[in-house]
């Protein structure tokens, strides 16, 4: 399936992630660029299965793709039991890892030996440089997301943070005081029950990206996103409705 662009129906005023739309203000319908998982670059190794939503970093497709503002990489990866990347270096990147299923193990000079369960989040600001590796030291598969953001300022001492997300509603993942990103971006985890409608608003000069992590949803009443599918959301207002119990990732970035 190829990428599809939709422009949704009549405009309406909605509650945004940042707060309430002022009374009487009408947002235009948000354009959508749907990215089915089946059309994304894929890397399949005996120990790793990975799809890249933006710039690919490994495999035959490395270097392909385009960023979305400061968001360079969104990789949806599943590690086989007892497998991991070799140690490797990063510099001047904000590296956000989110565990969807299983347990992610982390090794290196930041957060060495950390084990993150499902709904665990890790943020490394690589700055002057880190050496690390992620993987799975358990007997069961681990699915995780890794996002790379381009920072606005370079250099400085690396930093490591982590948090555990509660279940239900909208939860800050990164871009707040507890998990600050050195770029204009914020990331949320959204849990929705079957039939629940979740509003999304994108301001001018920004873009959003919605990823269906678990469950199926209908975006704007037009596009259906199955697990692993994503969609770029342009400025304006839209909403998604959960077909089943859903966990979705919402990323809002400046362009």
Per-residue pLDDT of the chain (255 residues; tens, 9 = 90+): 333 332 332 222 222 333 344 444 567 889 999 999 999 999 999 999 999 999 999 888 999 999 999 999 999 999 999 999 999 999 999 999 999 999 999 988 888 888 999 999 999 999 999 999 999 999 999 999 999 999 999 999 999 999 999 999 999 999 999 999 999 999 999 999 999 999 999 999 999 999 999 999 999 988 999 999 999 999 999 999 999 999 999 999 999
The pLDDT assigned to 7 comes to 31
User: In terms of domains, do 85 and 200 share one?
Assistant: no
User: In terms of domains, do 129 and 160 share one?
Assistant: yes
The pLDDT assigned to 59 comes to 85
Domains held by the chain: number: 2
User: In terms of domains, do 74 and 152 share one?
Assistant: yes
Does residue 185 form part of some domain? no
Does residue 187 form part of some domain? no
Q: DSSP label at 27?
A: B
Residue ranges of the alpha helices (H) in 128-229? none
The pLDDT assigned to 26 comes to 60
The pLDDT assigned to 13 comes to 25
User: In terms of domains, do 56 and 25 share one?
Assistant: no
Residue 39 DSSP SS3: helix
- C-alpha to C-alpha distance for 137 and 107, rounded to whole angstroms: 11
Two structure tokens written together for 102: 């299983």
Does residue 6 form part of some domain? yes
**Is the CB of residue 123 less than 8 Å from the CB of residue 105?**
no
Two structure tokens written together for 110: 């930041």
The pLDDT assigned to 67 comes to 98
- C-alpha to C-alpha distance for 193 and 40, rounded to whole angstroms: 27
User: In terms of domains, do 56 and 164 share one?
Assistant: yes
The pLDDT assigned to 110 comes to 83
Residues counted in the chain: 255
Two structure tokens written together for 38: 């089946």
47: left (phi over 0), alpha (psi -120 to 50) or beta: alpha
User: In terms of domains, do 230 and 253 share one?
Assistant: yes
User: In terms of domains, do 84 and 166 share one?
Assistant: yes
Q: Range of 74's domain?
A: 42-172
CATH of the domain at 130: 2.60.120.10
């Amino acid at each position: 399936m190829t990428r599809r662009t939709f422009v949704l129906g009549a405009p309406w005023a909605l509650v945004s992630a940042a707060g309430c739309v002022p009374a009487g203000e009408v947002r235009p319908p948000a354009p959508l660029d749907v990215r089915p998982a089946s059309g994304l670059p894929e890397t399949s190794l005996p120990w790793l299965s990975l799809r890249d939503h933006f710039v690919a970093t490994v495999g035959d497709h490395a270097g392909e793709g385009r960023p979305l503002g400061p968001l360079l990489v969104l990789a949806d990866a599943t590690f086989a039991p007892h497998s991991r990347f070799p140690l490797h270096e990063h510099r001047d990147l904000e590296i956000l890892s989110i565990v969807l299923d299983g347990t992610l193990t982390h090794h290196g000079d930041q957060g060495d030996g950390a084990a993150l369960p499902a709904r665990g989040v890790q943020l490394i600001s690589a700055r002057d440089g880190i050496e690390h590796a992620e993987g799975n030291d358990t007997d069961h598969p681990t699915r995780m997301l890794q996002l790379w953001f381009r920072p606005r300022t370079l250099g400085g001492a690396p930093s490591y943070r982590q948090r555990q997300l509660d279940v239900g509603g909208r939860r800050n993942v990164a871009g707040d005081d507890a998990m600050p990103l050195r770029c204009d971006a914020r990331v949320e985890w959204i849990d929705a029950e079957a039939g629940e409608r979740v509003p999304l608003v994108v301001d001018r000069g920004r873009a959003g990206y919605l990823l269906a992590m678990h469950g199926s949803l209908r975006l704007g009443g037009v596009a259906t996103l199955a697990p692993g599918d994503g969609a770029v959301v342009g400025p304006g207002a839209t909403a998604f409705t959960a077909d089943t119990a859903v966990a979705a990732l919402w990323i809002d970035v400046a362009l």
